[in-house]
Amino acid sequence: MLRSLCPMIDQYRVILASSSPRRKEIMGLLGVKYEVVPSSFVEEDLISSSFATVSDFVLTTSRGKAKEVFMRLACEKTTSDETLLVIGADTSVSVSTGTEDVMGKPKTPEKAVEMLKKLRDMKRHFVFTGVSIWHGEASDPKVHEFTCATEVDFSSKAMTDEAINAYVATGEPLDKAGGYGVQGLGGAFVEGIRGDFYNVIGLPFNKLHEALVTIVEEDKGTAL
């Protein structure tokens, strides 16, 4: 659909600065040709509690990812006809808009169980994604950024301790922010969603589509 609305998108070299299978699936929905170039940005250098809000934290992280890939590829560029467009994204889960309870990806099954029990007990939590899009030239990059927040309600009835342990035993929670995948088995725990469903997966489809249309429209009439 994006290519039909904005044929000029084909003049960009679109890069996803993430190896996430879920983000790749969402990028595929756009119907544009893109490449995957994972970022070497060290996320661990950022401490979530040093930020005022979760939105600030995920946006700063996504900016670091996109900038690293953009500058690296811009330096390697061999032709002036190529216009880079790099998309960086970062997702975190929290039971509030503050950063005291930010949940990334659990590194152990025990941590996944702990996260899921906390989310169950709070019933409602938030999924935040920051997206940073870098495009143009290395000497004068253009940056388009946004954040997206989605509210998710968990079912305390479905999330018994036994159900949580069984879910964690499948291995699904270990590479997902908050310890669950709404598009997978973890969807059995979800009672309601307010906001962009794709944001919970890891990339807000609606806002991303709008951003790319805006970028292409703004670049119309300029030399790509």
Q: Which long-range contacts (CB under 8 A, 24 or more apart) does 167-172 make?
A: 167/116, 168/109, 168/112, 168/113, 168/116, 169/109
Q: What is the pTM of this model?
A: 0.91
The answer to whether residues 93 and 106 touch, using CB atoms and an 8 Å cutoff, is: no
Query: Would residue 90 show up in a list of annotated catalytic residues for this protein?
Result: yes
**pLDDT for residue 92:** 94
From the list 90, 101, 196, 219, the catalytic residue is 90
Which residue from 60, 35, 2 is spatially nearest to 217, judged by alpha carbons? 2
Over the stretch 55-97, which tens digit does the pLDDT of each residue have? Answer: 999 999 999 999 999 999 998 876 667 789 999 999 999 998 7
Q: Which CATH code fits 2-219?
A: 3.90.950.10
pLDDT-above-70 percentage for the chain: 95
If one compares 44 and 210, the residue with the highest pLDDT of the two is 210
pLDDT at 54 over 70: yes
Among the listed residues 48, 78, 62, 91, the one whose alpha carbon sits nearest the alpha carbon of residue 203? 91
Mean pLDDT of 102-115: 94
Enumerate the H helices of 38-145 as residue ranges.
54-76, 109-122
